[in-house]
Structure 1
Amino acid sequence: MQFKTDTKEKFHAITLSGPSLSADMTGELEQLVLPYLQNDGTGPRNVVLVMKDITILDNAAAEKLVSLQQKFYENSSSFVICELSSEVEAFLDQLELLELMNVTPTET
């Protein structure tokens, strides 16, 4: 999976390339973002996940995103998902996972 990472002052913006996000891909994403929790004040620990290009998401990937977000909150950091497509938003709502996620319309 292709990730574009842009480090801002207070967070890392990670843009996922689409159109699909599978459980394997979320495993790669986890390997990318979990080290941010180890930052010792030298960089931001917060992540904004930009999903504007993702239109297909499987159940395991959706559950992994919720799990990742929980890990960040347990470590006093934030994991925000933004720019969800209407298809992905409806899918997450159907799985009753949307209400567990911190979702915003835009990155800022």
Structure 2
Amino acid sequence: MQVKIDTKEKFHVITILDPKITANMTAEMEKSLSALLQKEVKNVVLNLNSVTEIDVESAESLVKIQQSFYENNASFVICGIQPAIEEFLDNEQLLEMLSATPTESEAWDIVQMEEIERELLDDDDPAFNA
């Protein structure tokens, strides 16, 4: 699987360069991405701009990966979903389960908002816990 990784202050942008995502690729991706959950910067923006084909098993794997990130207090936002894939995901009733945005910039915004939300919820200030 060909990917480009760009690490920012609060998240990694992972751009898949292959036009097709297969089950083998998502298994490899799941292993690589779960390792990020142990790092200081563990939020991920997955850019699918170049992807034109995905199967159900791979799409379901993306949902599981995203759930794993949220269970570990990390964000996982997908952006750049092509219209044909968006329609496919919608037909499979998977689109509504994904945190997805049209653009990478919007995905960054979601990650940053979720990071702020986690900081506020984790605040040990007694005034907030009263």
TM-score range, shorter chain: over 0.9
Count of residue pairs the alignment pairs up: 105
Q: Name the structure 1 match of 2:30.
A: 30
Q: If the length of structure 2 is used for normalisation, what is the TM-score?
A: 0.78
Separation (CA, whole Å) in 1 of partners of 2:102 and 2:47 = 10
Paired with 2:104 and 2:41, the residues of 1 have a C-alpha distance of 15
Partner of 2:71: 74
Q: Which amino acid aligns with 2:70?
A: Y
Structure 1 runs, 4 residues or longer, greater than 4 Å off: none
* Counterpart residue type for residue 46 of structure 1: N
2:48 is equivalent to residue 51 of structure 1 = yes
- Structure 2 distance, partners of 1:25, 1:36, is 17
Larger-Rg structure: 2
Matches within 5 A, 1:1-108: 1-39=1-39, 43-108=40-105
Q: Which protein has greater RCO, CA pairs closer than 8 Å, 6+ apart? A: 1
Work out the percentage of aligned pairs sharing the same amino acid: 50
TM-score (norm 1): 0.94
Structure with the larger strand share? 1
More helix by share: 2
RMSD of aligned alpha carbons: 0.8
* Contiguous gaps of at least 5 residues in structure 2: 106-130
Unmatched segments (≥5 aa) in structure 1? none
